[in-house]
Structure 1
Amino acid sequence: MNNAVMLGILWHLVGAASAACFYAPFKKVRRWSWETMWSIGGLMSWLILPWAVSYVLLPDFWRYYAAFGLSTLLPVFLFGAMWGIGNVNYGLTMRYLGMSMGIGIAIGITLVVGTLMTPLLQGRFVALFSSAGGQMTLLGVAIALVGVAIVSWAGVLKERAMGICAEEFNLRKGLLLAVMCGIFSAGMSFAMDAAKPMHQAAADLGINPLYVALPSYVVIMGGGAVINLGYCFIRLAAKADLSIKADFSQARSLLVANVLFSLLGGTLWYLQFFFYAWGHANIPVQYDFISWMLHMSFYVLCGGLVGLLLNEWKNAGRRPVRVLCIGCLTIIVAANVVGLGMAG
């Protein structure tokens, strides 16, 4: 496995770790509605940081974006909005299926769709079977999917052992939302593929290859922001108790703490895609679709490890923890198989 591929896998792991940790600051927010907390964090992750980073990177911020026609920007924006719809459905999936089953189905679907749909639409999928490297890479994707399933099963065992139930368990509704979440969340993978002309334009400006994808986040995250913030504002407007007014009527110290924790959560959420861009830059062009598989499988891996570190599995018993460890090891094996396939 060459150094570039190893670095790519490493940076995807760092990004996934950031994603697995992003909700920890949100848990410190008190006496705020979910919509207000999510909106403040979202302003940081979807608008402030993408714009600020791009403004620093680009020699002429406005000229860069004005150089692209609607035929380039609109698909990138719409795929970003598609990803935003997946984000909204993600939370609803957890509500009706519970964390473990919801994550397993949603992440499993988005891993497969986001990873394999791009080469399929580009007519490259069949060609992958004609080379040893392609076959090895696809085998790694299959192993990763098995690893996600095992970790999710460990979560189900944990929830059963600890008596944790979904807020409003509804199998039919939950499965429908999980499928929708899985499909729509893959929009980020499609957006990155559609944004390749933007990446090339950034490279032509002399921007370091590690950063060429970051200016496209202004458009991608913009699409996601429209969906997420729109959803939050509609829900806040529909509440008769005007909870947004109550949220900002808290004591000054609590208000400052809530804002800071929400902004920190939003920063961690953005950093997952910051390092995703670094990992993507180190993946060979013919295997660029694998970035999504690495990100999503590492997200499940890091989520399990973070849960262990925070003692969330303390009272679950030995069996769920053993199954979790087997699932994590399976994902690590998958990453190595994918790496060997890309290096071959």
Structure 2
Amino acid sequence: MIGTIISGIGWHTVGAASAASFYAPISKVKQWSWETTWAIAGLFSWILLPWVVTWFLVPDFASFYGGITVKAYLAMFFFGAMWGIGNVNYGLTMRYLGMSLGIGVAIGVTLVVGTLLPVIVNGTFGHLVTTQSGQITMLGIMIALVGIAVVTYAGHQKDKVLGQTASEFNLKKGLILAVFCGIFSAGFAFGLNAAEPVKEASLQIGINPLYAMLPSYGIIMGGGALINFSYCLIRLAVKSDLSIRHDFSFPVKSLCINGLLAATGGVMWYLQFFFYAWGEASIPQSLSFVNWMLHMSIYVLCGGLVGLALAEWRGVGSRPVRILCLGMMIIVIAANVVGLGMATA
């Protein structure tokens, strides 16, 4: 069991690293509106890749999906749409709090809601808090929240030193949006919980357990895609300073470069959930609630490492960097504590 737990944490790390890095190519897109860039990236991450991967896995779509209940479809799509609303709120959170503070609050709320609410709904929360393994795991979750808070504080100190504050900073409005973002973004965790019938159907037709959850992604992400595409298209339609015609009026070479960068970001965004499925498959089913916690906390850890690698902390002095390293160490400790809790189950 210990070997599979280590493997699961490792795959969650790969997925979180991909998520933490996805915006690097997107940030290099030139002369396109954010809405066009986000829509192109989303076309790859939410539509094309989920269904292309499913096409390779499922030999007969009609018989496979015909055996899934309408209730399961509606639940997956609904929670996917909920996750999509969280994505939109994520951008608004950055607008009013700035990147460092906004990410910290949003990820912290997402971690707590996405980890604990499915356990409460499933009626297993009592078992979690009354067993030794559950108590150790809960301790790991609390330590992870401390680590996220420390990394968030380090990022906030970095922004102060560099003079990088949100252009429309509003603490009250930003915190409210961050909480909403965290709650709605946890919809993906709920969607995965609702996708158990798809996972069972995958296993029944002989799909490798590492890939068993992937055929549900097209449905869950389809709900998120509906919200995100609608938001982008409405913005492009009603805002006078935004225009699809303008974004696609540049030379073919520029369009290809922008499209490739946006697509690369979209692929990296999808890969976080691809490897999440591998991590989830490696963690014992009785401990599945820790998957979301591992993903979100390691996402913050990898975000800090990516920031250091991209020299985003250059010129801030040693104190914010030391605080960042402390926060990342706490998150590593949290992952180990969670692993210990799972090993004693």
Residues 95, 241 of structure 1: CA spacing in aligned structure 2 closer, same or farther, 3 A cutoff? closer
CA distance in 2, matches of 1:152, 1:242: 32
TM-score by length of 2: 0.98
Q: Give the equivalent residue in structure 1 for 2:38.
A: 38
Q: Is residue 303 of structure 1 aligned with residue 303 of structure 2?
A: yes
CA distance in 2, matches of 1:139, 1:308: 28
CA distance in 1, matches of 2:165, 2:218: 38
Q: Give the equivalent residue in structure 2 for 1:322.
A: 322
Q: Give the equivalent residue in structure 2 for 1:313.
A: 313
Which AA in structure 1 matches 2:172? R
Q: What do the CA deviations read for 1:103-158 (whole angstroms, capped 9, x no partner)?
A: 11111101000001111111111111222111111110000000000000000110
CA distance in 2, matches of 1:130, 1:293: 19
CA distance in 1, matches of 2:314, 2:241: 38
CA distance in 1, matches of 2:44, 2:32: 17
Q: Helix, strand or coil: the match of 2:112? A: helix
Q: Is residue 195 of structure 1 aligned with residue 179 of structure 2?
A: no
Q: Helix, strand or coil: the match of 1:28? A: coil
Shift of 1:241: 4.8
The farther-off stretch of 242-251 and 79-88 is: 242-251
| CA contact 1:28–1:261 (8 Å) conserved in 2 | yes
CA distance in 1, matches of 2:94, 2:241: 25
| CA contact 2:235–2:242 (8 Å) conserved in 1 | no
Q: Give the equivalent residue in structure 2 for 1:108.
A: 108
Map 1:1-344 to 2 at 5 A: 2-241=2-241, 243-344=243-344
Q: What do the CA deviations read for 1:61-106 (whole angstroms, capped 9, x no partner)?
A: 2321222221110001100110010011001101100111111111
Aligned length: 344
CA distance in 1, matches of 2:253, 2:16: 32
CA distance in 2, matches of 1:283, 1:127: 18
CA distance in 1, matches of 2:194, 2:142: 25
TM-score by length of 1: 0.99
CA distance in 2, matches of 1:186, 1:27: 25
Which AA in structure 1 matches 2:236? L
CA distance in 1, matches of 2:135, 2:36: 46
Which AA in structure 1 matches 2:165? C
Which AA in structure 2 matches 1:232? C
CA distance in 2, matches of 1:124, 1:140: 18
Residues 53, 313 of structure 1: CA spacing in aligned structure 2 closer, same or farther, 3 A cutoff? same
CA distance in 2, matches of 1:121, 1:29: 42
The farther-off stretch of 172-181 and 56-65 is: 56-65
| CA contact 1:155–1:324 (8 Å) conserved in 2 | yes
Q: Structure 2, unaligned stretches of length 5 or more?
A: none
CA distance in 2, matches of 1:137, 1:334: 9
CA distance in 2, matches of 1:65, 1:168: 46
Shift of 1:242: 5.3
- Percent identical pairs in the alignment equals 60
CA distance in 2, matches of 1:142, 1:240: 46
Which AA in structure 2 matches 1:158? K
Which AA in structure 2 matches 1:266? G
Runs of 4+ with >4 A deviation: none
CA distance in 1, matches of 2:94, 2:167: 8
Instruction: Report the RMSD for the aligned CA atoms in angstroms.
Output: 0.9
Which AA in structure 2 matches 1:171? L
| CA contact 1:189–1:289 (8 Å) conserved in 2 | no
Residues 264, 114 of structure 1: CA spacing in aligned structure 2 closer, same or farther, 3 A cutoff? same
CA distance in 2, matches of 1:129, 1:176: 29
CA distance in 1, matches of 2:200, 2:167: 46
Q: Structure 1, unaligned stretches of length 5 or more?
A: none
CA distance in 2, matches of 1:28, 1:163: 22
CA distance in 2, matches of 1:315, 1:202: 51
Q: Helix, strand or coil: the match of 1:129? A: helix
| CA contact 2:33–2:242 (8 Å) conserved in 1 | no
Q: What do the CA deviations read for 1:2-59 (whole angstroms, capped 9, x no partner)?
A: 1000000000000000000000111111000000000000000000000000010001
